[in-house]
Amino acid sequence: MSNLTEKPKADSKSVNLKRLLLFSGLGAIPIGIAVCFIYVPPSCACRDRGIDASGAYIRAQQAYSLEHKTFTSSYQSLGIKEIPTQTPLFNISTEVSKDKVVVYGTPRDVPTDLFRLGLTKAETRSFVNAAFYDKKSQTPISISCVSEKSTLEKPPTPAFNGEKLTCPVGFTSK
């Protein structure tokens, strides 16, 4: 009769199973949170098309200025497609005058976490490509500059001292 009044002892296998489920459930929470911070590249491993387009634009402007002694804002005159104003990584703007043309590549604020929540951001460096018409030698000269650090600021214009172009402070020539 004493066996009927005693509570049955818990099976050690079921206790271990309960503990295992409890600990694995508690462990899944930090892992789930960590998954949100997984880095996902902002685009493929290929080059951003805005950088290539701005380089082609500067080369076309140089060719045009050799013939016409000035720069143009007309893409038709240059015989090229328009530069995109926005790419996956950059906002791109141009500045054209008769003696200079500048293309600014300002990085966009691109989230790189798995669910695009903005928990991590792309480390993108800005760029500026420029061509100036050197009146002394009557030829265009150009420069491509990339910021040394990641920034979301519009890059400054390269300086032309009448003889050579130099990148702004905090930028290196590429």
> Which H helix or E strand runs over 172?
strand 171-173
The string of pLDDT tens digits covering residues 82-121 is 999 999 889 999 999 999 999 999 998 877 766 666 677 7
DSSP string, 43-79: S-SSPPHHHHHHHHHHHHHHHHHHHHSS--S-HHHHT
- C-alpha closest to that of 102 among 139, 69, 68, 141: 141
Yes or no: say if 52 and 81 are a contact pair by the CB < 8 Å rule: no
Low-confidence ranges of the chain (pLDDT < 70): 1-13, 15, 21, 23, 25-47, 113-118
Q: Name the DSSP class of 148.
A: S
- Give me the percent of the chain exceeding a pLDDT of 90: 51
Q: What is the pLDDT of residues 82-93, one digit of tens each?
A: 999 999 889 999
Average model confidence (pLDDT) across the chain: 82
